[in-house]
């Protein structure tokens, strides 16, 4: 059996980094788009497309999981409350946002260690498969397996066809 994301936990944004851990097994049987996010990035307007995907497909078993990260240009400096307020006020974000994490380095969240091992990216074959910038996206199937990795410049709306195909697999 392939390894899946279901063995990982993470705290939701409103609980802070030391808040109660949510098991990703709660998203079992859903297609997921896992994204490292930031509020002060040139890609931040992608929140609009991410929210649109979430609203379009959530009834069919799809969710976006946002993981704020301050490792790229210090573009997510805010507190948990500030991040949540920013996302809701500016982009109407209703999909789950988790507490701020690190995605690279020795303190990288175990979920991101797994995601990078599963899909190291084009340059990953030469390096460690590190996340290069905010809004790197991982598409996960209903079994919790990472299907594909997209770079930050890939707009969320470009993923609709692939998401629909994964949703059709029961």
Q: What is the pLDDT of residues 101-116, one digit of tens each?
A: 999 999 999 999 999 9
Q: What is the pLDDT of residues 73-83, one digit of tens each?
A: 999 999 989 99
**Strands, E, within 73-119: which ranges?**
none
Backbone angles phi, psi at 96, to 5 degrees: -65, 130
Catalytic residues: 41
**Strands, E, within the chain: which ranges?**
9-11, 21-23, 31-37, 62-68, 137-140, 146-150
Q: Whole-number mean pLDDT of the chain?
A: 91
SS3 11: strand
Q: Round to whole Å and give the CA distance between 31 and 131.
A: 21
CB-based contact 98:65 (threshold 8 Å): yes
CATH class label, 5-168? alpha beta
Confidence grade of residue 124 (pLDDT, cut at 50, 70, 90): very low
């Amino acid at each position: 059996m392939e390894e899946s994301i279901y063995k990982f936990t993470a705290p939701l944004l409103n609980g802070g980094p030391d808040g109660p851990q949510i098991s990703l097994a709660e998203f079992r049987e859903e297609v997921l788009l896992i994204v490292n996010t930031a509020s002060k990035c040139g890609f931040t307007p992608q929140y609009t497309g991410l929210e649109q995907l979430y609203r379009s497909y959530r009834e069919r078993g799809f969710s976006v999981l946002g993981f704020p990260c301050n490792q790229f240009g210090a573009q997510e400096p805010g507190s948990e409350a500030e991040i949540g307020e920013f996302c809701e006020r500016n982009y109407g974000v209703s999909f789950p946002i988790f507490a701020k994490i690190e995605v690279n380095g020795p303190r990288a969240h175990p979920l991101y260690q797994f995601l990078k091992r599963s899909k190291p990216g084009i340059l990953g074959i030469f390096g460690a498969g590190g996340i290069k910038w905010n809004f790197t996206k991982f598409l996960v199937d209903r079994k919790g397996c990472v299907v594909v990795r997209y770079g930050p410049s890939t707009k969320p709306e470009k993923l609709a066809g692939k998401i629909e195909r994964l949703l059709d697999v029961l």
